Amino acid sequence: MTEQLAAYEPPTPSPSAAPHVTIVLPCFNEGAHVLQEVERITTAMNASEFTYELLCIDDASTDDTLAVLEDAAQHYANIRLLNFRRNGGSGTARRIGTQQARGEIVVWTDADMTYENERIPELVRILRDDPTYDQVVGARTTEEGTYKWARVPAKWLIRKVAERLTNQKIPDLNSGLRAFRRRVSLPYLGLLPAGFSCVTTITIAFLSNQHDIRYIETSYAKRAGTSKFHFVRDAYRYILQVLRMVMYFDPLKVLMPPALWILAMGLVKGIVDMVRHPFYFPASTVLLVLSGILVGSMALLADLVVRSRDSG
C-alpha cells in the first residue's frame, strides 16, 4: 500500500523536532468543508500546550479535496499531506497514517464536521496525565448518521455482542474520535480492515489485551457532505469484524458455548431416544453429538494456536 503515497510528503525532520501528537485526518471527497475542519483542529491545537502535526490523507478523492489540502499546506505550518493514488478506504488511511505518524500520541478523527474536534487537546491531556490509560474515546451521546432508524438498534446489538465477548462495558464501539499511544497500537495495525470497522477493531484489540480505555461523552453533529456509509454492507462487516477479532484473541469465547450447547442437545436427545427406543440412536442424534465434539475440538485447537502465537 505504501506505493499509493505520492511524493508530496515533506522531508522527515530530525527526531528532536518530532511532535508530541499526530492527528490523522482521512479525507475522501470532503473538498467543500475540509478547510473548515482543518481550521477548527489547528485553532484548538495551537491554543494548547502540545506540539503536533496534522496528517491529512487524501484517499484518491474525485473532487477538489486534494487541491484544497495542498493550498492549506502552504498556509498551515503543521500540516503534512499524504496523497493516495488509489482509494483504500478509511481503515487503510488510518493504518498508514498511524504507521507514518511522528507523534507518540495518535488521534483519529473525521473530516465531515461531525465530531467535536476542538476537544482533541482534552483527549491528549488524559493520556498525558494518566499513564494507566492507553486510549481515550469520544463516546457519542446521539446518533445523527444516515439510516438512523436502523443504525441505532444494529449498533446496540453489535455493541452488546462485543461487550459479552470482551467482558467490558463499551459505551461507543465505533466512535471515530479517539486518541491512543502509538507504540501500544503498532502490534494491532495489521489487523485493521480497509473500511469503517477499523475503529471497532482497534477498540476490541486494546480491550482484548488488557489495555485500558477511557470514554468521555461527546456530541455528534449531522455530517457535512455525502455519507459513504452503506447500512447493509457495513453492518455485516461490523458483525464479522467483531467475531473475527475475538476469534483472533480468545476463540474459546466464540466457539465453545455453541459446542457445549450442541453437545448437550445431542446427549439429551440421546437419553430420550434411549428411553423411547432402547439402544436405537437416530442419525440426527449422532450428528448432534459429533458436531458438538468437532466444534469443541476446533475451539481447543484455535485456543492452542493463539496461545502458541502469543508465547512466541
Helices vs. strands in the chain: H and E counts, helices first: 10, 7
Q: Enter the pTM of the model.
A: 0.79
Query: Under a CB-based contact definition with an 8 Å cutoff, are residues 56 and 81 in contact?
Result: yes
Distances (CA, A) of 106 to 71, 84, 145, 161, 165: 24, 20, 25, 27, 27
Q: Of 4, 26, 28, which Cα lies nearest the Cα of 228?
A: 28
For residues 272 and 221, the answer to whether their CB atoms sit within 8 Å is no
- 138, 52 Cβ separation under 8 angstroms: no
Beta strands in the chain (DSSP E): 21-27, 52-58, 79-83, 105-108, 135-140, 178-181, 213-218
Give the C-alpha separation, 76 to 311, whole Å: 46
Instruction: List C-alpha distances in Å: 228 to 27, 162, 234.
Output: 11, 24, 10
How do the pLDDT tens digits run along the chain, 312 residues long?
444 444 334 444 444 579 999 999 999 999 999 999 999 999 999 999 999 999 999 999 999 999 999 999 999 999 999 999 999 999 999 999 999 999 999 999 999 999 999 999 999 999 999 999 999 999 998 766 555 655 677 778 778 878 887 888 999 988 999 999 999 999 999 888 887 688 988 998 899 889 999 999 999 988 775 655 565 666 677 677 777 777 887 888 889 999 999 999 999 999 999 888 888 889 999 999 999 999 999 999 988 888 786 655
User: Is the distance from CB of 215 to CB of 126 less than 8 angstroms?
Assistant: no
